[in-house]
A and B are shown apart, each in its own frame.
Chain A
Amino acid sequence: MEIRVKCFASAREVLGRSEFRMTVDDGTTIELLDRQIRALSSQLDEMPFMLALNKQYPERGTVVKEGDEVAIIPPVSGG
């Protein structure tokens, strides 16, 4: 199945794009997805980012679904 991945700030710089589509297996958890996204780039792997799922921080073990919007959230710096 396919999900949409949005990239912000330093994650966008590292990956060179603001959004991409990714094919994952049914039953993929947010933790497995985190490992798969880290595998895209060694620079990204070293970054302490969080993942958001459909504009919320997911609970541990949440399974992603077809068409979900995942966002790579690098360390924030608002305020």
Chain B
Amino acid sequence: MVTAEITDTAICGWLPDRPLLTTDGAEVVFRGMVRDEEDGQSIAALVYEQYEGMARNELQRLGETASGRFAISSLDCIHRVGTIPVGEAAIVVVIRSRHRAEGFAAMGWFMDELKRVVPIWKTGSVPC
């Protein structure tokens, strides 16, 4: 079970809308936050741009590939685009699995692949 979403609104408290299975012993959550510095400069926000349509489809495809490669029961992710203030999340990924090792492995693979193929870019920053 995989879901993927792109949004231009805040996602800091986002959680997947699905019940935790009693067979799931692990829930791995990754939140990618905007830091207060980019290329050595203090910033107030980062600007993310997507290739609309393809970005969500690639997120979904990656999630489904992860689901096939690793023994996980679900992967849900949401990526924010537009202007994201420092301290707020740009991405949240939640992976549930029977054991933690599969969840950690799947999360590492998913994030590495996301940063290779999903057409989303940091295209600018807002100075302090």
Contacts and interface: CB of A to CB of B under 8 A. Distances in A.
B43 to A, nearest CB: 14
Contacts of B91: 78-79
A73 B115 contact: no
The contact size tier of chain A is 10 to 19
A56 B123 contact: no
Contact of B120 (A50, A55, A71, A78): A78
A9 B123 contact: yes
B115 to A, nearest CB: 5
Contact of A6 (B51, B111, B115, B116): B51
Interface of B: 32, 48-51, 53-55, 57, 79, 90-91, 111, 114-123
29 contacts: A8-B51, A9-B49, A9-B123, A50-B117, A52-B119, A55-B54, A55-B57, A71-B51, A71-B54, A71-B119, A73-B51, A73-B119, A76-B115, A76-B116, A76-B118, A76-B119, A77-B120, A77-B121, A78-B48, A78-B50, A78-B79, A78-B90, A78-B91, A78-B121, A79-B90, A79-B91, A79-B111, A79-B114, A79-B120
